[in-house]
Amino acid sequence: MSRLLFYIGIILFFARCQSAISAESASPALITGIDTSMAIVNDTVPALRPYSSLEYDKVELLRSASGTKSVLFNAIGSKLYAMNLEGLSVYEFDQASRKVIRRFRFKPTRGDGWDYEKDTIIPSIQEKPVEACLSHDDKILWVSLHNAEGIVPIRVDSVTANIDALHTYPTKKDMGVLKRIFVTYPGNTRKDSFDVPLIKTGKTPKIISKTADSKYLLVSNWHSYTVSVVEINKDKFPFGKVITTIPMAAIPRGIAVDDKSRKSYVAIMGGATLAVINNDTWKKDSDMNVATNPRHVVMDTSGHLFISYNSLGKIACLDASTGKTLFTVTSHGKPRTIILSKNQKFLFATCYSSDTLDVFKINETSFTRVHSLPCKGHPVGVDIFENDEKLEAWVCSYTNGAINVFSFRKK
């Protein structure tokens, strides 16, 4: 009898395994990127239900550190990273509780900064985080340091991984420039510290974008008029090296990587073009003429580019294959960062000079403004969290170090 029960148990075990395998292969994947060719796929999370409207619900005020410049969610939306330029830090927030989990603070060293109003060099600190990008299944957070002329990789999956990486390198002499980071845990006495390598890219690095396979990063270097291409490897210190530097006609900032067409589009904020880069040769193919002062650029899965024009106060939709502007809309003053909802039907724009978050619905041939929400402190960065019931826009403001979480009900 016991032998019979044993064999029955084995049969049931394999039946359950086969059922699980079938269910996994049939379950829809959650696409978390803007372009499906660039997206991170997580088979453990079901796809979001369709929705066609967003009803504003409420706003919550969170505190980060001084001069928050950008925010970035991980792929599943459980954690958000806030880059605090004046606070010399990166804060890791838990989406569900709204609490800071970890604070990564850089040890300050002297450097040259830039006064954007007076257009001149000023004494400053090197370790000022600007923008960031996650690679290798969210294991590495790449952060651009405003006055250090480069970017640093932080292993956010494991603090000890940062320490262990240094031990694998031959000698300290060959490690190059290292940046010290101190980690604290709110509500806990624990403290950690480690060094990360500085990968030199160019003067005043800004946006960091990656290819879908986590093999390459593109970095826009504001004052060098260049874009650096960094080959990355999570298993080999210092995790990345510059393999080429692409000259730009003027100041570059936003970068959209299209893995499907194997092209990248760089917003030339100091001019009126998008530089089109060939991702096979890592050379500039052409210049796409656009309106003046393009700051940020994102792409959807249908080959449309969306651009924020900072000085003009406009948002535009372009055909990436032809460069033709399809439609535009006037935003509030000085739109900075833009981002698309997961269904690519809504666009969020932080409007710096007017202290406003604009939300537009994307129609076939036009934009419709659906919300304009007050957001004090000069909003600059935005990223979004979504589940089936709601969408949250996490917006950081530069002058007050605040993060406003705007919640919308999906309809």
pTM confidence score: 0.88
Rounded CA-CA distance 236/400 in Å is 39
| 8 Å CB contact between 227 and 255 | yes
**294 Cβ contact partners less than 8 Å away, ≥ 6 residues apart:** 253, 254, 267, 268, 269, 272, 273, 274, 307, 308, 309, 310
How far lies 123's CA from each of 13, 150, 263, 296, in Å? Answer: 67, 18, 38, 28
CATH of segment(s) 65-253:
2.130.10.10
Task: Record the tokens describing residue 120, joined without a space.
Answer: 């001149």
Nearest to 59 by CA among 103, 98, 99: 98
Rounded CA-CA distance 309/347 in Å is 14
**pLDDT by residue, tens only, the chain of 411 residues:** 444 444 444 334 334 433 333 333 333 232 233 333 333 333 344 588 999 999 999 999 999 999 999 999 999 999 999 999 999 999 999 999 999 999 999 999 999 999 988 889 999 999 999 999 999 999 999 999 999 999 999 999 999 999 888 877 666 666 789 999 999 999 999 999 999 999 999 999 999 999 999 999 999 999 999 999 999 998 888 999 999 999 999 999 999 999 999 999 999 999 999 999 999 999 999 999 999 999 999 999 999 999 999 999 999 999 999 999 999 999 999 999 999 999 999 999 999 999 999 999 999 999 999 999 999 999 999 999 999 999 999 999 999 999 999 999 999
Task: Record the tokens describing residue 269, joined without a space.
Answer: 């904020």
**248 Cβ contact partners less than 8 Å away, ≥ 6 residues apart:** 220, 225, 226, 227, 266, 268, 275, 284
The 8-class DSSP code of residue 174 comes to: G
- What φ, ψ does residue 229 adopt, rounded to 5°? -105, 120
pLDDT value of residue 171: 61
Rounded CA-CA distance 399/380 in Å is 10
Nearest to 398 by CA among 71, 16, 28: 71
| 8 Å CB contact between 357 and 350 | yes
Domain layout of the chain by residue ranges: 65-253
| 8 Å CB contact between 243 and 230 | yes
Omega before 123 within 30 of 0, i.e. cis: no
Q: Which residues of 202-226 are buried (b: 16+ CB within 10 A; e: fewer)?
A: bbbbbbbbbbbebebbbbbbbebbb
